[in-house]
Amino acid sequence: MNEKCGITDETLVDYVYDEIEDAAKRKEVEEHIKTCAECGAGVKELELVKKTAENADVDFSDDIWDVHRQGVLRKLAKKEKPMRNFREVFNVKTFALAAIILLMSGVGLQLYRSFQATQEQQVIADKADLLQNIDIIERLDFYEEISNI
């Protein structure tokens, strides 16, 4: 803000960008700039910024813009392709096949587990038989010893 004349920087920016809607106010600022060296210099600096920025557009020749456009089209095609593949892969047939495989795997696993359980039961039964036989043999040995006495 210019302390001598009370014109704010914001007012000068508004003036440069033609944002002062009140015609009387605009005229007042316009007249002031003609007589106030400090505000006049401020406006010139702001106009330089505005002019430089307005003319700062980057431009290429048509063939370079064509390369840019082709790149966009390529990216578009690339992004659409995975979507098509997704739909192709995850359709009803695939889900049905996956369900059958899952079901068969479940049944197979169950059969394997029951076979394992049967085998374990068999081993336990064999061990029990063996223990019983050992017991009988020991008792026979005992009676044999008594009869010898």
Partner 1 sequence: MKHREETIHREDLEIIADIKAGKQIAVDELIRKYQKRIYNTAYGLTVDYDEAWDVSQEALVKVIRYIGTFRGDSSFWTFMYRITMNAFYDYKRRQKVRAKVGNFTDYENDDDKRAFEITDVIDIEMDYEQKELKEKLKAALGALTEVQRQVFVLKNTEGLKIREVAVVLGMSDGTVKSHLNRAMEKIKKTLGGVQP
3 vs 18, beta carbon nearer partner 1: 18
CA neighbours closer than 13 Å in the CB half-sphere of residue 76: 6
Phi-psi region of 43 (alpha: psi -120 to 50; beta: other; left: phi over 0): alpha
12 vs 32, beta carbon nearer partner 1: 12
Query: Does residue 12 contact residue 45 with C-beta atoms inside 8 Å?
Result: no
Residue 27 beta carbon to partner 1: minimum distance, rounded to whole angstroms: 19
Could you say which of 5, 30, 40, 75 contacts partner 1 (CB under 8 A)? 75
- List the interface residues with partner 1, window 101-140 (CB under 8 A): none
71 vs 108, beta carbon nearer partner 1: 71
Distance CA 16, CA 35 (A): 17
1 binds partner 1 (CB under 8 A): no
Nearest to 39 by CA among 79, 6, 83, 85: 6
CA neighbours closer than 13 Å in the CB half-sphere of residue 112: 6
Could you say which of 78, 84, 87, 93 contacts partner 1 (CB under 8 A)? 78
52 binds partner 1 (CB under 8 A): yes
Applying CB under 8 A, the residues found at the interface with partner 1 are 9-10, 13-14, 17-19, 44-46, 48-61, 64-65, 67-69, 71-76, 78-79
